Structure 1
Amino acid sequence: MPAPERSNRAYRNIARVVRPILLAITDRDWRGTEHLRHDGGFIAAANHMTNVDPLTFAHFLYDNGIAPKILAKSSLFTVPVVGGLLRASGQIPVYRNTVEAGKSLAAAIDAIAAGECVAVFPEGTLTREPDLWPMAGKTGVARLALTTRAPVVPIAQWGPQDLLGRYSAVLKPFPRKKVTVVAGPPVDLSDLYDRPQDSAVLREATERVMAAITALLEDVRGEQAPAERFVWRRPPGEGR
């Protein structure tokens, strides 16, 4: 399979190691790839259930010709080896609750302007919803979308949680797990573009993205999500 045009050498080297592993331990059901953009920058926004999600998310995009720039928590960039790989492949650190928080948004804006796909988990952390439905999202995806006016492609994943439980550190690769990843049409935010980015507008844009992801996941699971979206607030001092 040819590597995505925008992947650099480090990205391709990582893929040479990670892709064969994912191919060996997953049966993939990928849908909606026609909604992915190849002629300009866009935002790919997915639900987040387990720490293996970024790999299955990136696998879906990479094998469909896109090398995403994933917004990842800044602490990962300090981990030996892992941090070096993230930096070399051009991933974007997220500085939460610090004076450097604006750097993440600026870097993502620049990436989209350069024609890249910026991949985000709008919830900002693993969902705390008891049945793994998407919870309320953070407004970062809205700020990025409304500032750049780039398409936001909602993506739902189901199955990665069988590889690695939500809070587990034990990977369960065998037997092979079915991983379903579905992309939907871009979320329409056009009526919000010229409005001030106040809290009401940001919440509205964020909820539209989360609703689109949830609708895709309902179809995958064959179930209906709770009528009221779960809201989680990080306790003081708690990590991801």
Structure 2
Amino acid sequence: MKESRGTKTAFAIAAGIVRPVMNLMIGRRWRDFDKLPDGGFILCPNHVSEIDPLVVGHAIYSSKRYPRYLAKESLFKVPVLGTLLRRTGQIPVARTSAGASQSLKTAREVLDANGVIIIYPEGTLTRDPDLWPMRGRTGAARLALQTGAPVIPMAHWGAQELFPRYAKGIRLFPRRHVTVTAGDPVDLDDLRDKPLTRTVLTEATERIMRAIATDVAVLRGETAPQVLWDPADHGQAAQGRNFENGSSPKQTKENDS
């Protein structure tokens, strides 16, 4: 993907700040990055810590690709952060239909130009008590089926030791180690020519989440749950830090996208 000088400069500035700090805080290992396509693709990582975007962004940038996230529109209004997000070409996701349409258009342009779109299909930090990937939302599947772009699952493990889920601070000592691995493309070929019904989107999403969970299991040396955690089944809220306070299963299902 041909990037503008301004975008390259913004990424270089951000990387010049973030990468040395990350290298001080963690020992890192990137595995199987030769599986990443040369063309545009959608990257779907697991989500165990609020520091995950920095870990994944660090890994992708180190592989000489520019990471583009679908980020909440509200983040673009935060001083300094919003400017950095805009200048590095991150994609705001709005709740309105017009905003969602523009987000899809921008994401498609990035993919068509051989760029990398990063989507956390869970939509938030996993609610699973053991930090396994949980039930996914359909946004990544929808984008993949609408654009034809390949979906690459990404598994990482160790970031939760540095910054535990919803913790108030970073645990610097002892020095933590993070492994990030790229998986094989998720097979969605039989779904790509079908209408985007709820059934099709759910099936595609389940394949994506199962691929992520399988790769996480390899990193952890454990067996992934046969049924992924569903917050609605446990009375948990779909959004926010106080998810254990819960919301009704109906409300949680309706929040799915």
TM range (shorter): over 0.9
Q: Distance in 1 between matches of 2:36 and 2:2?
A: 15
| Structure having greater relative contact order (Cα 8 Å, sep ≥ 6) | 1
The Cα shift of 1:98 comes to: 6.4
Q: Distance in 2 between matches of 1:235 and 1:23?
A: 34
Structure 1 segments of 4 or more deviating over 6 A? none
Asked if the contact 1:5–1:65 (Cα under 8 Å) also holds between the matched residues in 2, the reply is no
**Quick check: 1:139 aligned with 2:131?**
no
Return the letter of the residue paired with 2:35: H
Return the letter of the residue paired with 1:189: L
Return the letter of the residue paired with 1:162: E
Gaps (5+ residues) in structure 1?
none
Q: Which residue of 1 aligns with 2:171?
A: 172
Q: Distance in 2 between matches of 1:32 and 1:113?
A: 24
Q: Distance in 2 between matches of 1:82 and 1:25?
A: 21
DSSP 3-state at the match of 2:15 = helix
Q: Quickly say closer, same or farther: Cα 1:89–1:219, change in 2 above 3 A.
A: same
- How many residues align structurally? 235
DSSP 3-state at the match of 2:231 = coil
**Quick check: 1:70 aligned with 2:78?**
no
**Quick check: 1:129 aligned with 2:128?**
yes
DSSP 3-state at the match of 1:50 = coil
Identity %, equivalent residues: 47
Gaps (5+ residues) in structure 2?
242-257
Q: Distance in 1 between matches of 2:30 and 2:98?
A: 39
Q: Distance in 2 between matches of 1:151 and 1:118?
A: 11
Q: Distance in 1 between matches of 2:213 and 2:22?
A: 25
Normalization by structure 1: what TM-score? 0.92
Q: Which residue of 1 aligns with 2:15?
A: 15
Q: Quickly say closer, same or farther: Cα 1:160–1:148, change in 2 above 3 A.
A: same
Q: Distance in 1 between matches of 2:96 and 2:50?
A: 21
DSSP 3-state at the match of 2:187 = coil
Q: CA RMSD in A?
A: 1.8
Asked if the contact 1:157–1:182 (Cα under 8 Å) also holds between the matched residues in 2, the reply is yes
The Cα shift of 1:115 comes to: 1.5
Q: Which residue of 1 aligns with 2:40?
A: 41
Q: Quickly say closer, same or farther: Cα 1:45–1:149, change in 2 above 3 A.
A: same
Asked if the contact 2:150–2:186 (Cα under 8 Å) also holds between the matched residues in 1, the reply is yes
